[in-house]
Structure 1
Amino acid sequence: MDTLTHALSGALLARATAPVGHYAGQLTIRARMTVGFVAAAFPDCDFVLRLFDTLTYVSLHRGVTHSIILLPVWALLVAWLLSVLTHRRYSWQAIFGTAALGIAIHIAGDVFTAYGTMLLMPFSSHRFAIPFTFIIDPYFTGIIATGLAAVMIKPQKRHAAVIACLVLGCYVGFQGILHSRAVTIGETYAENHGLMEAEVHAFPQPLSPFNWKIIVSHEGNYDIALVNLWRTQSRQIPDPASGLLGMWGRIAAGYRPVSAATWVRRKRFGETKSQNVLAREAWEQDIFARFREFAAFPVLDQIESRGSRVCVSFFDLRFSVPSLPPSLVFGLCRDSAVGPWRLDDSGIFGRD
């Protein structure tokens, strides 16, 4: 989820769970929503990792600040800071519970995306992911914003916030149903093509909850289909000169009806033997360990030669969208056939 959506969800949950009545030292409704907003944005403070390099950020993002084990620690920190910033108008004890709720809803929101969240840090770096929701979902954000707008109209009533939270839960459940349907389509494809040992995965895509990427992984290959579970006819591809709306249209047109789905096979280390040898050599370098650990569906992006210099780059299929360059591309370069490999830092790779 984007940070703004996280923050808004924290404010919404804070209002929905506000106790009836007001007592001395207790947060006012406005203060409670502010705490929820700030606390729900807090876990994304790990963006400071970008100060090191993009790969460090990508591999460690959603780590310690997104841990349910460390959640009480972060809630205490946020509560103490906000108490200090308000000149002790509210004690940290009064703020703590709301701060914990805000951080918790942030973590929950991230779990439902494809990126994965290290819930058990620092004891485990395993990324938990239930890929139901695309990282930027206007419908998801819209439900939250509508609930908050209704709360502003009647600030003394929390019913609108409660209803919005319930609708949000139902929407995520609906996405779960769509995910199951997309997986079933992939399983049918694998069965029809004799891929009995294949693993089938489905990932939400932009613009519509009905857009899905299906990946059938088998023997180092990936069979990929981009489908729209609602559409019955393919969309016409807009003119490239049609601006921003045209770009959105081209992305949307990349998702075809299930009956017209096109399956494309990608090989992890390239299509030719020479690509395969060089890509494997680069992939296995120790300095590339972080990307290997992070990438769930890595595939060769390109091999670029400039004289004796050669660069090999990879990206994760989870983070590619039709009609756009893949994001989170990382690579290694060396200056000669016998030279050492190094992580690329020229800006050619590491696009985000």
Structure 2
Amino acid sequence: MDTLTHALSGALLARATAPATPGPGALTTRARMTVGFVAAAFPDSDIVLRLFGALPYLDLHRGVTHSIILLPAWALLLAWLFSRFSRQRYSWRAIYGTAALGIAIHIAGDIFTAYGTMVLAPFSYHRFALPFTFIIDPYFTGIIVIGLAAAMLRRQRRYPAIIAMMLLGGYVGFQGVLHSQAIKVGETYVEAHGLGGAGAEVHAIPQPLSPFNWKIIVSRGDDYYEALINLWRTHKLNPPNPPSGISGIWGRVASNYQPVSAATWVHYRRFGITESQSMLAREAWSQEVFTRYRQFVMFPFLDRIESAENGVCVWFLDLRFTTPSLPPSLGFGVCRDSAAGPWRLGHAAGAFGTDTISELLGMKREGD
């Protein structure tokens, strides 16, 4: 989830949990919301990892700063900093609880996205995820903004913030229901194509623009079957003609999510389509410099192989982070300058401010 939405959610929670009559030494409503805002943005301070390269950031993002085990320590640090540098010298004890709530709601918000959050770091680096919400969700953010605006109009009352928090919880719960429906669509596909006895697993990933947009992935070994669906739509949507401006781009993206009855399933292979692709892709995939990427991705597939003179680059993507009609995110590759040369890591920047390897997904597809 984007950092601004996290920060706003912290301010909303701080207002919703504010005491009706603050005691002596307690934070004012404004100070409480400020602490909640900053504390809820704090976990994303791990962006400094980008100074050490894209792959370390990819590997360690949502790690120790997103840990519920380390949450008390981070809340104590923020409380001390606020106490030390704020104009009105509050006791760190008056700040601590609000800071802890801000960090906690950030961690909770990230768990509901597909990226995965290491909530037990540093004792475990397993990434927990309930993929209900797309990383940028205007409805999620809108509920928070409306709640904060209503709370500011009713400065002496906290019920607008409480209602907004309840609506936010209800919205995420609704997304959970839609996630279950999307999973059932995938299970129907598995059953209809006889994949059930082959160890197939069904996953549903939230998509942009609408809570009804989902990407369904059926994973079976090195093969993936993907469908983009809209659970609400009943008629096929055509892309805008001609597409122009932002509305045209979003219209083109939206047109990829079709009714379940019109869903198109696309087949991806982890190591490419041809035998020559597969041999080179497997060699590149197994390189030590690719270890961190292999540990992070869930649905990796060969994006493309680029040859130049005696060198070659082999690029991979993760199906979790491809969006139709937009540049794919979080893609990496390995390159070498000659057939006997060492492999080195490669990457480039792309959609949503993340790392990508091409402007548009160029993988050859096979439709079922």
Could you say which TM-score interval applies, normalised by the shorter chain?
over 0.9
- Distance, in Å, in 2 between the alignment partners of 1:262 and 1:128 is 29
- Distance, in Å, in 1 between the alignment partners of 2:329 and 2:306 is 18
Measured against aligned partners, the alpha-carbon deviations of 1:291-328 in whole angstroms (never above 9, x if no partner) come to 00110111111100011110001111000001112111
Residue 328 (structure 1) aligned to one of 330, 334, 341: 330
Q: How far does residue 62 in structure 1 lie from its aligned partner after superposition?
A: 0.2
**Paired amino acid for 2:70:** L
> 1:228, 1:256 within 8 Å by CA — same for their partners in 2?
yes
> 1:331, 1:350 within 8 Å by CA — same for their partners in 2?
no
The aligned residue for residue 356 of structure 2 is 351
**Paired amino acid for 2:221:** E
**Paired amino acid for 1:228:** N
**1:316 and 2:318 correspond:** yes
Structure 2 gaps of 5+ residues are 358-368
Residue 218 (structure 2) aligned to one of 205, 216, 219: 216
- Distance, in Å, in 2 between the alignment partners of 1:16 and 1:180 is 30
Taking structure 2 as the reference length, what is the TM-score of the superposition?
Answer: 0.93
The aligned residue for residue 41 of structure 2 is 41
The aligned residue for residue 263 of structure 1 is 265
The aligned residue for residue 290 of structure 2 is 288
Q: How far does residue 98 in structure 1 lie from its aligned partner after superposition?
A: 0.2
Within 5 Å, which residues of 2 pair with 1:34-183?
34-87=34-87, 89-183=89-183
Distance 1:240 1:80, change over 3 A: farther
- SS of 2:290 mapped into structure 1: helix
The aligned residue for residue 199 of structure 1 is 201
**Paired amino acid for 2:228:** L
The aligned residue for residue 22 of structure 1 is 22
- Distance, in Å, in 2 between the alignment partners of 1:234 and 1:242 is 21
Q: Percent identity?
A: 68
Distance 1:346 1:212, change over 3 A: closer
- Distance, in Å, in 2 between the alignment partners of 1:99 and 1:279 is 47
- SS of 2:21 mapped into structure 1: coil
RMSD: 1.4
- SS of 2:216 mapped into structure 1: strand
Of 127-136 and 334-343, more deviation after overlay is shown by 334-343
- Distance, in Å, in 2 between the alignment partners of 1:233 and 1:295 is 34
Q: How far does residue 91 in structure 1 lie from its aligned partner after superposition?
A: 1.0
> 1:55, 1:350 within 8 Å by CA — same for their partners in 2?
no
> 1:226, 1:255 within 8 Å by CA — same for their partners in 2?
yes
Structure 1 gaps of 5+ residues are none
Of 84-93 and 260-269, more deviation after overlay is shown by 84-93
Q: How far does residue 346 in structure 1 lie from its aligned partner after superposition?
A: 7.1
Taking structure 1 as the reference length, what is the TM-score of the superposition?
Answer: 0.98
**1:251 and 2:253 correspond:** yes
- SS of 2:312 mapped into structure 1: strand
The aligned residue for residue 233 of structure 1 is 235
Q: How far does residue 338 in structure 1 lie from its aligned partner after superposition?
A: 1.2
- Distance, in Å, in 2 between the alignment partners of 1:321 and 1:22 is 47
**Paired amino acid for 1:351:** T
- Distance, in Å, in 2 between the alignment partners of 1:347 and 1:264 is 26
For these two proteins, the number of residue pairs brought into alignment is 352
> 1:27, 1:90 within 8 Å by CA — same for their partners in 2?
yes
Q: How far does residue 56 in structure 1 lie from its aligned partner after superposition?
A: 1.1
> 2:243, 2:252 within 8 Å by CA — same for their partners in 1?
no
> 2:347, 2:356 within 8 Å by CA — same for their partners in 1?
no
Distance 1:346 1:156, change over 3 A: closer
- SS of 2:108 mapped into structure 1: helix
Q: How far does residue 347 in structure 1 lie from its aligned partner after superposition?
A: 6.7
Measured against aligned partners, the alpha-carbon deviations of 1:80-133 in whole angstroms (never above 9, x if no partner) come to 111111156101111000000000000000000000000000001100000000
The aligned residue for residue 305 of structure 2 is 303
> 1:240, 1:247 within 8 Å by CA — same for their partners in 2?
no
**Paired amino acid for 1:308:** N
> 2:331, 2:347 within 8 Å by CA — same for their partners in 1?
no
Distance 1:345 1:9, change over 3 A: closer
The aligned residue for residue 279 of structure 2 is 277
